[in-house]
Amino acid sequence: MSVTWDEAAALVEEMRPLVRADGADFKLAAVSDDGWIDIHLLLDGVSCLECVLPPDLLSEMVSDSTRRSMPSCPGARLHDPRVV
Amino acid sequence: VLVTLDPTGVRRGATTERRPARRRPLAGARVGLVSNGLGRSAELLTRVYEALQKEAQLGAVFTVHKPHRSSPPAPEDWQRLLDEADIVIAGFGGCGSCSTRTVRDAMELEWEGIPSVAVVHQDMLPGVQAMTRLAGMPGYRYVVVDDSRTSICDWDDGAIESTAKSVVGEVLELLTVEPAV
Complex ipTM value: 0.87
For the stretch A7-52, pLDDT in tens is 999 999 999 999 998 899 999 999 999 999 999 999 998 888 878 9
Rg (CA), chain A: 12
Which residues in chain A touch residue B6, judged by CB atoms under 8 angstroms apart? 63, 75
Are residues A50 and A40 in contact, defined by beta-carbon separation less than 8 angstroms? no
Q: What is the DSSP letter of B153?
A: G
Which residues in chain B touch residue A65, judged by CB atoms under 8 angstroms apart? 134
Contacting B residues, span 101-120, partner chain A, CB-CB under 8 Å: 101, 104
Which residues in chain B touch residue A71, judged by CB atoms under 8 angstroms apart? 7
3-class state of residue B148 by DSSP: coil
pLDDT at B25: 84
Type of residue found at A54: P
Listed residue (B91, B102, B95) closest to A22, CA to CA = B95
Q: Cα angle at B104 between B168 and B178, to 5 degrees?
A: 50
Q: Which residue of B has its CA nearest to A55?
A: B3
Q: Does the CB of B124 have a partner CB in chain A at under 8 Å? A: yes
* Backbone phi, psi, residue A39, to 5°: -125, 135
pLDDT band at B172 (very low <50, low <70, confident <90, very high): very high
Exposure letters B107-131 (e unless 16+ CB within 10 A, then b): bbbbbbebbbbbbbbebbebbbbbb
pLDDT at B146: 84
Instruction: Answer yes or no: do A74 and B7 touch at CB < 8 A.
Output: yes
Query: Which of A17, A66, A83 is closest, CB to CB, to B3?
Result: A83
Rg (CA), chain B: 16
Q: What percentage of chain B has pLDDT greater than the value 70? A: 85
pLDDT > 80? residue B16: no
pLDDT > 50? residue B7: no
Query: Which of B5, B71, B134 is closest, CB to CB, to A77?
Result: B5
pLDDT band at B18 (very low <50, low <70, confident <90, very high): low
- Distance between CA atoms of A10 and A8, rounded to whole angstroms? 5
Q: Does the CB of A80 have a partner CB in chain B at under 8 Å? A: yes
**Which H, E and C letters describe chain A, residue by residue?**
CCCCHHHHHHHHHHHCHHHHCCCCEEEEEEECCCCCEEEEEECCCCCCHHHCCCHHHHHHHHHHHHHHHCCCCCCEEEECCCCC
- Distance between CA atoms of B115 and B117, rounded to whole angstroms? 7
Q: Does the CB of B163 have a partner CB in chain A at under 8 Å? A: no
Which residues in chain B touch residue A50, judged by CB atoms under 8 angstroms apart? 68, 70
For the stretch B58-106, pLDDT in tens is 999 999 999 988 889 999 999 999 999 999 999 987 777 888 999 999 9
Q: Cα angle at A74 between A72 and A78, to 5 degrees?
A: 125
Query: Which of B6, B70, B127 is closest, CB to CB, to A75?
Result: B6
Which residues in chain B touch residue A68, judged by CB atoms under 8 angstroms apart? 134, 136
Average pLDDT over residues B12-39: 78
Q: What percentage of chain B has pLDDT greater than the value 90? A: 54
